[in-house]
Structure 1
Amino acid sequence: MFYSVRVDGTISLFSAEASGPVLADLAGVLCGPGRMTGFGRTAGRLSAVVDEPWRAGALARECRRRGVQAQVSAAECGRPLVRTPFRVDLLPLERRWNRGEEKVLPEGFRLDGAMLRMWALAAGSPQGNGYLLALDPAAPETHELLITALARLGVPAKVQKGEDALLRVTGRRRLAHVLELIGDAPAGAEPAWPSLVPVVRAV
């Protein structure tokens, strides 16, 4: 269980716990490294190559919370891979996020706290006085649209200087809002969660 309550004690409409876990939340993984694969016109599969084993494990647990089993293994590059089986109920995600072989942001896409939480689990990390969210470098046309989606959620972000596929959120108020939206870190994910105290990464 995680909590994300405003100072006045109310729950934000867009926070991760505003509604129960649903399959649509998995779109947050697609904001980062996730990919949908179709099996003809009958089923879809979600997969994501991530940087740390705990991320793959956390995403697999979040999938199970939504009734979807996911396996953790190693990708060809050696990095952790989380992947679901082909499922009929994942086909809508595949149809919305793919245009042929290209990954696209669905028309009218609206980000919410549950999706942002999944994005943070897949590809978020604190750095200095900010928070980084990795984008999919192989889907550059989604980047500006995701910046817009974050802004609509009240989380303005900019491309990290010198990096084409990293978004940076800065400012104590903005970071507090991100925490309000995504809730507490699951066990093991604390070092990768937004922090209101500047974080210095070991080199």
Structure 2
Amino acid sequence: MSLDGLGEPSGAQQLPTLFPVPEPAAPSRRRRSPSAGAAGGPGVGASDPMAAAADGDPGRAATAGAAARPARGSVDEAGRQLVFFGAETVEPAVADLAGLLAGPGEVVRMGGTARLSIVVDAPWRVHVLVAELAQRGLSASWEPTEDERHAVRTSYTRALKPLAVAWTRGVAKRPPAGFHLNGRRLRLWLAAAGEVDPPGCRLHLGAADRQWWEPVGAALAAVGLAGELLDSGASGPAYLISGRHRLRRLAELVGDRPSATPPTAWP
């Protein structure tokens, strides 16, 4: 079922009906610290070769390890202190989709283009992901699966080729060297495959990605979200984030709850 890239269904086709289609959110215009802009601090992926490539700057990709030390935080127009690495401190970018690939997302290449897909378990996740993809200029489609879930996928596009190149070796998915997480990447991961399960939160992984679970866990730990790897159970593999401090940190990083998301489904 096709969408027009703006989060609205085309023709008579409709998104899952549990929640209304949210209005496309305009990209955030936050006041950023110097390191979140031209200085290329870790908050915008300067240490991540994929992020540099996705920004269309091969020179940055070649020197991606030399990130400048960022400021501790920034302040928005309302005077709030924004969390360093938080979703509100940087503009949406295609490189953020690395958060979906850290979870159960998949990316495939075709010629000079690529497509990202992920299967989600609830209609509200479809709404949130379609809106997030539209903010990054990506059109999306969805269809129900035989097990009563929903497959969300982008169109094939050149914009996703750097992401696919960084995350694949042959047809296999694997995190690139220097992979890290930030607020926007975590926000997408949570929206697609996060499960708030008091007193913790599970971030689900790809069942076929076992050899890459450890690097993903290390990236979580690097942003203060060291989790327990759950390798069994009907819900599949996941990192369990628990503890008051870590859950508060997660909530600060992912930002405000999307409008289509049930209150109990967001930290």
Kindly tell me the number of residue pairs found equivalent between the two proteins.
191
Whether 1:156 and 2:226 are equivalent positions in the alignment is yes
Matched residues in 2 for 1:191 and 1:39: separation? 39
Aligned-residue Cα RMSD (Å) equals 2.1
SS of 2:241's equivalent in the other structure is strand
Residue of 102, 114, 118 corresponding to 2:172: 102
Shift of 1:74: 2.0
Instruction: Name the TM-score, length of structure 2 as normaliser.
Output: 0.67
Given that 1:32 and 1:119 are in contact with CA atoms closer than 8 Å, whether structure 2 keeps it comes out as yes
Matched residues in 2 for 1:134 and 1:33: separation? 7
Whether 1:20 and 2:91 are equivalent positions in the alignment is yes
Given that 1:33 and 1:50 are in contact with CA atoms closer than 8 Å, whether structure 2 keeps it comes out as no
Given that 1:133 and 1:168 are in contact with CA atoms closer than 8 Å, whether structure 2 keeps it comes out as yes
Q: Percent of aligned pairs with the same residue? A: 38
> What is aligned with 2:248?
176
Amino acid of the structure 1 residue aligned with 2:165: R
Shift of 1:166: 1.1
SS of 2:89's equivalent in the other structure is coil
Matched residues in 2 for 1:107 and 1:57: separation? 32
Q: Which runs of 5+ in 2 are unaligned?
A: 1-24, 31-73
Shift of 1:101: 1.6
Matched residues in 2 for 1:162 and 1:83: separation? 27
> What is aligned with 2:238?
166
- Where does 1:43-122 land on structure 2 (aligned, <5 Å)? 43-75=113-145, 77-122=147-192
Shift of 1:12: 1.9
Instruction: Name the TM-score, length of structure 1 as normaliser.
Output: 0.87
From the CA coordinates, give the structure whose radius of gyration is larger.
2
> What is aligned with 2:199?
129
> What is aligned with 1:191?
264
Shift of 1:23: 0.7
Structure 1 residues 161 and 30: CA distance shift in structure 2, 3 A: closer
Matched residues in 2 for 1:145 and 1:162: separation? 19
Matched residues in 1 for 2:146 and 2:110: separation? 21
Say which structure, 1 or 2, has more relative contact order (CA 8 Å, 6+ apart): 1
> What is aligned with 1:197?
none
Shift of 1:68: 0.6
